[in-house]
Amino acid sequence: MNFHQLHLFFEVAQCGSFSRAAEKLSISQPAVSAQVREFEKELDLQLFERGSKVMHLTEAGKLLQRYAHQIFAQANELEHAIEDLKGLSIGRLTIAASTTVAECILPHALGLFKTAYPTIQLEMQISNSTKVVEWVCERHFDLGFIGDEIESNDLVIEPLCEDEIGVFVATNHPLASRKSITPEELAQQPFVARERGSATRLNSERALLDLGIKPKIAIELGGNEAVKRAVCSGLGVGMLSVFSLTPEIKAQMVKVITVEGLVCCRKFTAIYRRDKELTRAEKRLLEVVRESIKQI
């Protein structure tokens, strides 16, 4: 198999068009198109559906895309392993993190790591925990950091620290002056919730269910900052990591309220594929994250 042509096909499939792939690779579109056609001829397979304005992969193309992704992901791992032999002077780390971990835990840790190892490149993508697990399993990222404990035969899961998820309201909310409230009172409140797939949402709903509460969701939002702003605007009560609420609590914008019988704790964890050999840089980053947590 011609791996140059496989790479061109993969870039076209990932970019969704010949023109965008050509621009990314800094070569002409006709050259890309000709190489992909030649690749299809050698394989005796049609990889893209023709005659549509929107480019779609055939079933053969989808199969080849999946295998190509694995091949090039492992090639990147080989590059990292070679860089690892040269110590912590060069390299690149790709990290995926859930929203709460990315906002509350990693900034300080990544700052410490970058100061100590300035020549190592860091790339981080943020999403909810479900998406982070998916990305790491599919080899899109080397390390993942999530706000939940999971079970997976394909992943190593390393606990980092405990986190408490608290119920909070705006300081001008009627409940803000109360020392505590009952589960029945909480059940009557409209909730500002994180999106589905968020570990914060999942753990909150579990804890509420233990009290017999099915929350009345007023609005779902895709991030902690959006939830905090909505709560401060009076749209309802929220449940977020107490870590993430620290700035707003200090600024007296929100207040965490006690709910009788409510216990909502979870673990922040690091994840990586079980078949992956961690590089020195990756091992050192995990050490720095643990050291950084102790300083928070």
Query: Which residue's structure tokens are 């749209």?
Result: 235
Would you say the CATH fold of 163-265 matches that of 83-161+267-295? yes
- Cα–Cα distance list, 201 to 8, 210, 227 (Å): 40, 14, 11
Fold adopted by 3-68: Arc Repressor Mutant, subunit A (1.10.10)
pLDDT tens, residue by residue, 65-98: 999 998 988 888 888 777 766 667 677 889 999 9
Model pLDDT, residue 87: 66
Domain 163-265 class in CATH: alpha beta
Could you tell me which residue, 1 or 105, shows the higher pLDDT? 105
Delimit the domains of the chain by residue range: 3-68, 83-161+267-295, 163-265
Among all chains, which residue has been given the structure tokens 């233990």?
210
Between 269 and 87, residue with greater pLDDT:
269
CA angle (38 as vertex; 33, 43 as ends), nearest 5: 125
Q: Are strands 254-259 and 237-241 parallel, antiparallel or unpaired?
A: unpaired
| Chain segment 271-283, per-residue pLDDT in tens | 999 988 888 889 9
- Of 71, 56, 108, 60, the closest CA to residue 290 belongs to 108
Check residue 289 and give its pLDDT: 96
Query: Could you count the other beta carbons within 10 Å of the beta carbon of residue 197?
Result: 17
Find the mean pLDDT for residues 246-267: 94
Whether pLDDT at 54 is above 80: no
Q: What is the 3-class SS of 49-76, one letter each residue? A: CCCCCCCCECHHHHHHHHHHHHHHHHHH
What whole-number distance in Å separates Cα of residue 234 and Cα of residue 97?
A: 29
Side chain identity, residue 272: Y
pLDDT given for residue 74 in this prediction = 85
- Compute the C-alpha angle 284/79/134, nearest 5°: 70
Burial profile 160-174: b = 16 or more Cβ within 10 angstroms, e = fewer: beebebbbbbbeebe
Percent of the chain with pLDDT over 90: 73
d(CA 134, CA 211): 31
Close Cβ partners of 23 (under 8 Å, ≥ 6 residues apart): none
pLDDT score for 53? 64
Q: What is the pLDDT of residue 60?
A: 92
Residue pair 145/135 in contact (Cβ under 8 Å)? The answer is: no
Are 32 and 19 contacting, i.e. CB atoms less than 8 angstroms apart? no
The topology (CATH level 3) of 83-161+267-295 is D-Maltodextrin-Binding Protein; domain 2 (3.40.190)
Over range 222-244, report the average pLDDT: 95
Reduce the DSSP state of residue 213 to 3 states and report it.
coil
Look at residue 51 in the predicted model and tell me its pLDDT: 66
- Give the mean pLDDT of 111-120: 91
Q: Per-residue pLDDT averaged across 168-189, rounded?
A: 95
